[in-house]
Amino acid sequence: FHHRKPGLVGLLSSKSKLASMGHKRPYFSLIVDGIHVHESAVSMAYNSHPNGCVLVTDAMSAMGLGDGVHALGDMSVNIKGDRATLTGTDTLAGSVVSMDTCVRRFRKFTNCTIGEALLCATLHPANVLNRSVMQERATEAPIGVLEIGARADLVVVTDELDVVATWVNGKIAYDGRKLL
């Protein structure tokens, strides 16, 4: 970022400039694992265009396996804490942080509400895919919303945003508390 050439931050915050060129403000994705994007940059991007923010994980197959050397295709990846690098380099090889962790960190970095953070992980991605509302002649039900006719995908979380249970297409897929 430079004050005379604001780059992406300028693009995200320039609603009137984009409109004058016949464009809408873009959606943008953030990997909020605390490694890919600095917390100040996360906050700045979100506050520039909250309705365009889409949370993604960039999670690789070694997520949840702990520290050590793991494979990513034919590449060797070293995992140490939340950092995944190609073995012998400092090059990031993806992430090993789950979506719920990304949502918690996003909330901490931006000081947004729980609802605002969850929109970035649910409705906004569905909007990007043009799947948040019922379309005429649609072959797939809407996602990212709780309404009649939408896909019955649901994640139940605590006030701390820890996952309690997950339903996929109306069927329990994960029950973290074995209450169901």
- Three-state secondary structure call for residue 80: strand
Distances (CA, A) of 99 to 85, 90, 162: 19, 23, 10
Do 29 and 42 form a contact (C-beta atoms < 8 A)?
Answer: no
Spatial CA neighbour of 11 closest among 24, 106, 22? 24
DSSP state of 25: P
Alpha-carbon distance 147 to 30, whole Å? 27
Alpha-carbon distance 150 to 132, whole Å? 8
Q: Which residues are catalytic?
A: 58
